């Protein structure tokens, strides 16, 4: 029976944590008593530098419940980094780790299916949403177009899969070799390879508290996904530049010809338009190049992606 670790990133989740611990404990103990998971299986709550009582709660629960473990990051590093911190700690103790959100949006009833697939030999199991009923129309449409965009840009990501997934110890080991700072796990995991499968589930509403992903963070995350995995935007710019150069040569010839045959007019409008247009275009291009340069900058610093302050794991 595999040792299963449930890795749960938590940022200001004091409102949901008691319920999450209760439900996950019930689920995990039933999996253990059904012989699906080993007695040494644990839940690992990663406190991502919360400002509320999240860490106190984790400490308190771990004292009274052997299944509860926790790690405390010294500062808020964002969902992806918190998740990575949890997975890397879990890697030392488990056969497979399943990552899920603290807010009970990911249906925990399918946890057995993840483990079953792992026992059948899958190293990576993706949780895929069977529908997007609980999303707003805006979220649904933007998500759909985002997946399409990623596909055209040549990034391999699993449709409607977020971060509800199982990874075996081999996959985790491979993941630890990816040193990038601009972390987008959904893009990295498919690159790791290994045999993989899917588990379908219904995503619920958040149990309590509010989303820690406002639109601003979501946009940044989406942009990170593109710029961390695809250099196609750079190529598009280059192509655009070439096209515009060719067009301007034609324009130049046209201008020369009309000058020679003496029909040229002092076209202030066209002149000012092209100045503005080209100025804007250049700025846009420089901006996009800048995004990549910024990434190179942060990658070359090789800063640690998180710092673990404390760890509790009951044996
Ligand atoms: N989270 C985190 N650090 C952050 C933001 C979020 O660890 O900086 C955690 C959060 O506690 C939750 C998960 O990431 O367990 C998903 O966040 P949330 O539910 O707020 O996002 P949504 O489901 O609304 O996309
Ligand atoms: Mg959520």
Residue by residue, pLDDT tens for the chain (315 residues) are 899 999 999 999 999 999 999 999 999 999 999 999 999 999 999 999 999 999 999 999 999 999 999 999 999 999 999 999 999 999 999 999 999 999 988 899 999 999 999 999 999 999 999 888 877 888 888 888 998 988 888 888 898 898 999 999 989 998 998 888 888 899 889 988 889 999 999 888 888 788 888 888 888 888 888 888 787 787 787 778 778 777 877 877 877 787 788 776 677 667 776 777 787 778 778 878 878 887 887 777 776 777 777 788 887
Q: What's the pLDDT tens digit per position in 46-65?
A: 999 999 999 999 999 999 99
In total, how many domains does the chain have?
A: 2
Q: What is the CA angle 237-239-245, rounded to 5?
A: 105
Beta strands of 79-217 (E only): which ranges?
96-99, 124-129, 161-168, 196-201
Per DSSP (E only), the strands in the chain are 4-10, 42-47, 68-73, 96-99, 124-129, 161-168, 196-201, 308-312
Measured over the CA atoms of residue 155, residue 98, residue 168 and residue 34, the dihedral's sign is negative
What stretch of H or E contains 232?
Answer: helix 232-260
Calpha distance 172→167 (Å, rounded): 6
258 & 117 share domain: no
* CA-wise closest residue to 123 among 58, 176, 75, 169: 169
Which range of residues forms the domain containing residue 196? 4-210+303-312
Judge whether 79 lies within some domain.
Answer: yes
Query: Residue 273: what pLDDT?
Result: 66
The angle at the Cα of 243, spanning 241 to 247, to the nearest 5 degrees, equals 115
Ligand 1 atom closest to Cα of residue 48: 7
Q: Which of 96, 74, 75 is nearest to 7 (CA)?
A: 96
**Residue 47's beta-bridge partner residues?**
10, 72
Does 224 reside within a domain?
Answer: no
* 272 falls within a domain: yes
Contact assessment for residue 45 and residue 102, using Cβ atoms and an 8 Å cutoff: yes
Q: Which protein residue has the closest C-alpha to ligand 1 atom 13?
A: 101
**Are 187 and 307 in a shared domain?**
yes
Q: How many residues can be counted in the chain?
A: 315
In the block, tokens 């598009």 appear at 236
Do residues 244 and 176 share a domain? no
pLDDT digit string (tens) for 134-181?
778 888 888 889 989 888 888 888 988 989 999 999 899 989 988 888
Question: What's the CA-to-centroid distance between 293 and ligand 1, angstroms?
Answer: 28
Pair 50, 94 in one domain: yes
Q: Which residues line ligand 1 (CB under 6 A)?
A: 9-11, 13, 48, 76, 78-79, 82, 101-103, 105, 206, 211-213
Q: What angle do CA 159, 164, 170 make, to 5 degrees?
A: 100
8 Å CB contact between 202 and 160? no
Domain co-membership, 63 together with 78:
yes
Looking at the structure, do residues 193 and 237 belong to the same domain, yes or no?
no
Please tell me the distance between residue 163's alpha carbon and the centre of ligand 2 in angstroms.
11
Q: Is residue 223 part of a domain?
A: no
| pLDDT value for 29 | 93
Task: Give a yes or no: residue 220 inside a domain.
Answer: no
């Amino acid at each position: 029976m595999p040792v299963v670790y449930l890795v749960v990133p938590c940022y200001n989740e004091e409102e949901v944590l008691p319920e999450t611990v209760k439900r996950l404990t019930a689920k995990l103990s039933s999996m253990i008593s059904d012989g699906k998971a080993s007695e040494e299986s644990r839940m690992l709550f990663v406190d991502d530098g919360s400002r509320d009582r999240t860490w106190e709660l984790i400490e308190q629960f771990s004292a009274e419940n052997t299944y509860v473990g926790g790690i405390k990051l010294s500062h808020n590093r964002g969902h992806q980094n918190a998740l990575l911190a949890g997975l890397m700690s879990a890697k030392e103790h488990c056969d497979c780790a399943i990552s899920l959100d603290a807010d009970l949006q990911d249906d925990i009833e399918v946890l057995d299916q993840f483990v079953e697939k792992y026992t059948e030999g899958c190293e990576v199991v993706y949780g895929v949403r069977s529908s997007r009923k609980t999303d707003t129309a805006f979220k649904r449409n933007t998500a759909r177009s985002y997946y399409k965009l990623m596909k055209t840009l040549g990034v391999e990501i699993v449709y409607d899969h977020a971060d509800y997934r199982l990874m075996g110890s081999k996959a985790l080991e491979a993941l630890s070799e990816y040193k990038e700072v601009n972390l987008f796990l959904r893009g990295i995991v498919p690159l790791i390879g290994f045999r993989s499968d899917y588990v379908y589930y219904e995503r619920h509403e958040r149990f309590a508290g509010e989303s820690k992903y406002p639109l601003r963070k979501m946009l940044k995350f989406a942009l990170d996904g593109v710029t961390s995995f695809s250099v196609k935007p750079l190529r598009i710019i280059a192509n655009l530049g070439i096209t515009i150069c060719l067009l301007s040569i034609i324009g130049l010839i046209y201008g020369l010809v009309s000058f020679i045959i003496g029909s040229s007019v002092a076209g202030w409008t066209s002149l000012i338009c092209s100045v503005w247009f080209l100025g804007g275009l250049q700025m846009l291009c420089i901006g996009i190049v800048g995004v990549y340069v910024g990434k190179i900058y942060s990658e070359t610093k090789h800063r640690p992606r998180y710092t673990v302050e404390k760890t509790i794991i009951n044996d």
